[in-house]
Structure 1
């Protein structure tokens, strides 16, 4: 009997070893292993070798767990069964014998299952998660030996499984390693809750992962709001416009604001101004100023370009501003590198910016710009509006609902909210007040009570 308990404990430890090894090697950081391997840690190099083929590693550890589980069932149930029979032997009678045998088998099954789950799976895996770096280095050399011994069996098993999968119609493709964007978001949120990341870091990473879902048209400045100058403007006119707007780059148009031909930079204007000042001091003849001579070639991007691709293009072209065109090649707006980065980092202001404070997300009464996108209303304020009717902004939604150009003070009720047009600028809806239904309902109830 004692040797049976020794075998039982040995098999249980073996099961825990494989379970812990699997979790530790999957959880360990590759960068940490490379650093330790560079320091001469044999276990770290063994772990790197094992992780070179993650699918094969999982097959090997699963083989070890399966063999250990089978051994546990073979050695454990008989051992515990015989132990209980010896304890219950004084109670044996012809009538009770079948029931006592059944009870002994049931208790043995439950105890072995409990030991298997707790001591062979849960505790080793929890230990592996907590001490992944240290444990991976310890178990890797032993597991590497088993890996090489069992390689033929694993190879045959994998080929057999692949053939069977093809036979029943499965393609047998695998997604590979790594994490999806949604999995990364979950990891980041968990890290924030555990205190490993600050709130700003979480928000920035989450926004970075969302970039492919945002398009240039959602963040661009619409053409009617773009400040530009004529190609026939004088140097003083250009500098005055730059000083008034505090913009370092200005689009330049020919014949009309809708025909943008390039842009000028403040540095170029100041260089020309300095050259003309020096020439005037020396009483030299001033050459005529032609804005067309200092035009910079614009970067042109489609309005459907995802923001991650837009930032990549800004980086590769070393430009900070781009003109946005629609499917017909017509310029519909302007976007800057700052606009794109603000989707990751939040508002980036400077000493010249005069911006309204953003309303609190849970406020019952807010006021926003008509150019606020449908997506921002959803993500920032929890207001769900339809975005599949050909418009991207709150102003577009209100125009779609009304069917005409409204006047200030007109209202629209939708989805439990009351939208009030506060300010109109020519034909553009500039500012909109939004009142949530809960507040409307309480006010109406108060009026009825009065």
Structure 2
């Protein structure tokens, strides 16, 4: 065989090897959701690829038969074709025996390099760019090869299945998509610019509903606006003007004796109809939804849906009212700044190394702002104030400080045992001693 014939054969083998490489990577990398969309749009080839992904054993067996056979033939042909050329070239400067040995080595290296670049790396990168499109184009020829090598494929597949069974390994991959998978995909999309950062954050917040306690989104009891059932009309009017909300809890003597709630619309209708604002009037009070403080936001959202309510009072295990939560509070958690916010932001960044944070800020928001992966005993608290109490093991007072993971948390203001403001400062890195 002449040198030109050998080179043409090597190129043909590289092309065949590239075909099997790109067929392998495209099937493995194809996203089932995208393939299902293509199949639903009428592409029968996508349906064939989905079936192959369910039972990929014969497909990959054919790929390995092709790759290994081509590698063996390519090594034999390459060494026989290129070794004499390198021997003659090196013999111009080196002794005959040395030139022969070095020529064989160079022939081996060149053939291996050609196969790695053109039969492996380049095809696999091409297959990764548009795996679904490549997979549907190659599914027909691969099915033809699977039929051609069916007896050998059956034998090798049975041997492989037996080994999997003996080792206790699963024969098929788990196709379930977990919340972690979805979050990883959205994060990758956000980093690539396909998904806006605000949209990415919104999706993350939705999945946090089941892990966030309802107390992280509630209005604490000291900020609640409520009425006593015997409040006179001037008091009711003044409170509505000072704290305009859609609903107000109504209590007998204090917050521990909640009788129900009154809708502001009902009060307005009474005013328009010339009726007195008497909270004990029949039909004015509505039954209030009471939820435990250990529920997650997702569980409270389900209760809202079942009770057709958008307002609930939160109590602890001792039946003490902790605060209240509304549907708008929960939507604020999901939507962020796309919905109405409080008058002041809970987290204010003063400069690149310091933040002024409200003590009632949900700890998940604090971690996100500071880019902290974890906090100690994170299941013991829901807010920044709770974190400081957990770390100090007492009620914090002004100037108390805690350091964690390169940040200093200093209490700036305390009002009746409530932590109002916390200054968070990034500490300078500690150099080697």
TM-score (norm 2): 0.79
Aligned pairs, number: 422
Deviation digits for residues 75-102 of structure 1, max 9, x if unmatched? Answer: 111111111343366689xx97876665
Name the counterpart of 2:229. Answer: 231
Matched, 1:368 2:370: no
8 Å Cα contact 1:264-1:296 kept in structure 2:
yes
| Equivalent residue number for residue 283 of structure 1 | none
Aligned to 1:448: none
Partner of 2:16: 14
Checking the alignment, whether the CA contact within 8 Å between 2:311 and 2:325 is kept in structure 1 is yes
Distance (whole Å) between structure 1 residues aligned to residue 313 and residue 280 of structure 2: 22
Post-superposition Cα deviations, 1:278-308, rounded to whole Å, max 9, x if no partner, equal xx7xxxxx89763563333334444333334
**Relative to structure 1, is the Cα distance of residues 129 and 227 closer, same or farther in structure 2, using a 3 angstrom cutoff?**
same
Deviations 1:381-424 (A, max 9, x none): 357764459443333444556666566x4433544626133241
- State TM-score, norm by structure 1: 0.76
Q: In 2 relative to 1, CA 398–37 (structure 1 residues): closer, same or farther, beyond 3 Å? A: closer
CA apart distance, 1:200: 1.5
- Give per-residue Cα distances to partners, 1:199-231, cap 9 Å, x unaligned: 212222333344443222322223333222223
Q: Once structures 1 and 2 are overlaid, which stretch shifts more, 410-419 or 370-379? A: 410-419
- Equivalent residues in 2 for 1:252-271 (5 A)? 252-271=250-269
Distance (whole Å) between structure 2 residues aligned to residue 380 and residue 174 of structure 1: 41
* Number of the residue aligned with 1:422: 413
Q: 1:52 to 1:252 in 2, by over 3 A?
A: farther
Distance 1:401 1:77, change over 3 A: closer
User: Structure 1, residues 207-258: CA drift from partner, whole Å, max 9, x if none?
Assistant: 3344443222322223333222223446665454333212101122234202
CA shift in 2, pair 1:290/1:131, >3 Å: same
Tell me the residue number matched to 1:322.
312
Q: 1:141 aligns to what?
A: 140
* Cα distance in 1 for residues equivalent to 2:281 and 2:59: 71
Contact 1:252 1:261 in 2 (8 A): yes
1:261-288 per-residue CA deviation (whole Å, 9 max, x = no partner) reads 43222223333444x43xx7xxxxx897
* More deviation, 332-341/155-164: 155-164
**3-state SS of 1:52 partner:** helix
Q: Please list the CA deviations of residues 4-28 of structure 1 after superposition, one character each: whole Å capped at 9, or x if unmatched.
A: 6555444433332233234334555
For the 8 Å contact 1:212–1:307, the answer to whether it is kept is yes
Gaps of 5+ in 1: 281-285, 442-450
The residue aligned with 2:25 is 23
Do the aligned residues in 1 keep the contact of 2:413 with 2:422 (CA within 8 Å)? yes
CA distance in 2, matches of 1:222, 1:357: 14
Q: 1:134 to 1:401 in 2, by over 3 A?
A: closer
The CA distance in 1 between the partners of 2:97 and 2:251, in whole Å, is 99
2:68 corresponds in structure 1 to: 70
